[in-house]
């Protein structure tokens, strides 16, 4: 097999995996192999576990969120930077179905995923610290609170809305949460 064949197979597996996740189908590697028209061994050679494939699917969105967070840390208005980052995170989770399960995982299959998630978490903590230092955050709110609230916003909008309603409902829920986080 040539490198070009291997790259083509990798892309077919990734594209098929993305379709599975977008359609909320279980990410079973044997099923992915069948639909990608590649051998099962080929899929397992590239992605030893479904989690490895899922994390590979989420990687571009993680990298985009990191770049966004790094840009917002340079923003002069800490509250706008913080809320902009949370909004971008919500939008990313709505746009990329692979992202939420990667965020929810307690451990990661791929070392690079753990590194990306850790870096993103540190940037989010920095944004939160800036808001706190500016006196704009309700007292007692911790980083873990914000993480759980954002997961809750996405979950609530996913469970209680049609796909067409999700974006607007998620923004509405996010606005309510941000109003509760903002110091008066």
**150 token code pair:** 């954002």
Question: Do 37 and 64 have their domain in common?
Answer: no
Are residues 35 and 118 located together in one domain of the fold? Answer: no
Indicate the length of the chain as a whole number: 184
**Domain containing residue 177: CATH number:** 1.10.357.10
- The mean per-residue pLDDT over the stretch 41-56 comes to 96
CATH number where 13 lies: 1.10.10
pLDDT in tens, 102-135: 998 999 999 999 999 999 999 999 999 999 999 9
Same domain flag for 42 and 125: no
The domain containing residue 17 runs over which residues? 1-48
- Give exposure, 4-25, as e/b (b: 16+ Cβ within 10 Å): eeeeebbebbbebbbebbeeee
pTM, full prediction: 0.90
42 and 3 belong to one structural domain: yes
pLDDT in tens, 66-90: 999 999 999 999 999 999 999 999 9
């Amino acid at each position: 097999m040539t490198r070009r064949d291997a790259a083509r197979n990798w892309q077919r597996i990734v594209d098929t995996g993305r379709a599975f996740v977008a359609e909320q189908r279980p990410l079973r590697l044997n099923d992915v192999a069948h639909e990608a028209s590649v051998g099962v061994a080929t899929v397992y050679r590239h992605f030893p576990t479904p989690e490895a494939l899922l994390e590979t699917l989420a990687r571009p969105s993680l990298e985009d969120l990191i770049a966004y967070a790094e840009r917002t840390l340079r923003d002069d208005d800490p509250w706008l930077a913080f809320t902009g980052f949370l909004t971008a995170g919500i939008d990313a989770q709505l746009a990329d179905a692979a992202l939420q399960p990667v965020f929810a995982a307690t451990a990661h299959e791929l070392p690079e995923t753990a590194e990306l998630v850790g870096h993103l978490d540190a940037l989010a903590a920095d944004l939160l610290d800036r808001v706190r230092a500016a006196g704009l955050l309700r007292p007692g709110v911790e980083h873990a609170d914000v993480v759980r609230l954002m997961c809750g916003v996405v979950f609530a909008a996913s469970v209680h809305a049609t796909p067409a309603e999700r974006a607007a409902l998620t923004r509405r829920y996010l606005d309510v949460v941000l109003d509760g986080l903002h110091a008066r």
